[in-house]
Amino acid sequence: MHFVTVHPSVILVLSFLALWGATALGAALRKRRPLDDELRQDFNIILAATLTLLGLLIGFSFSMASTRYDQRKTYEEAEANAIGTAYLRADLLPADAGAKVRTLLKQYTELRVRFYTADESDVARINAETTKLQAALWTAVLPTPSPPGPPHGATTVLTVGGMNDVLNAQGYTQAAWWNRIPASAGLLMVMIAFCCNMMIGYSLRSAQSHSKLLLVLPLVVSVAFALINDIDTPRHGLIRVVPQNLNSLLASFGAS
């Protein structure tokens, strides 16, 4: 089930076959028990209402998926800004400590870029490396045991606060990547689409019209399902969040 939900191409093929089969099933039922002219008008009203409901559900699902996509892009930008701020504030630390923090932040940025571009099989290892590097960064900015004076205390607040923003930004990003449309909601939408296509097949008047229109609605709805799944799936498909802000930040580190 997980393999299906994270691959938009699989969603496209499976939903098309299911909806095409639903249309063929409706056409077969029409041949066995044709729709009376007296009931056709009422049937068309029900069909129109069902198709309207399906269209609304597809629209709402697309809106939810695009909102999550924009959220992932926003958090990628926020994460790059937090790392860049912490990198600048490293100048407030003593020379040795500042150099260590900057080196760790460069490694951390490279790791965050890998998180956005990695395959599913590498995510666990990247997350483990991220946790270790976060611990090293946090230790590097902690104040020394000696009591700091007022200027040193202000410096500590700035550096520790900046590093805290870096760690929080990674958590927000991870939560946004986990936040997807529930698979159960998609399954219910497919069931409604199945009913709509079966009703379409049942409502066709002749075998000739059936042969012409059999593929139209299943193909269109399947493409819509695949598009929604593609937008809502961070690591698969054609539409992905490109870490352009992190890449730009990494390039600026190399120039500095």
* Separation CA 226–CA 167 (nearest Å): 34
The answer to whether the beta carbons of residues 54 and 148 sit under 8 Å apart is no
Tokens of 186: 């998609």
pLDDT, residue 132, reads: 94
Nearest-CA neighbor of 183 among 123, 234, 232?
A: 232
Q: What's the pLDDT at 95?
A: 87
Are 86 and 105 spatial neighbours (Cβ–Cβ below 8 Å)?
yes
What pLDDT score does 151 carry?
47
List, run by run, the mean pLDDT of 10-residue segments along the chain (256 residues). Answer: 66 91 87 78 88 92 92 94 92 87 93 89 90 91 60 70 90 89 86 92 67 80 93 86 91 75
Rounded Cα distance, 191 and 105, in Å = 48
Residue 149, pLDDT score: 47
Q: Is 64 left (phi over 0), alpha (psi -120 to 50) or beta?
A: alpha
SS3 145: coil
How much is the pLDDT for 150?
47
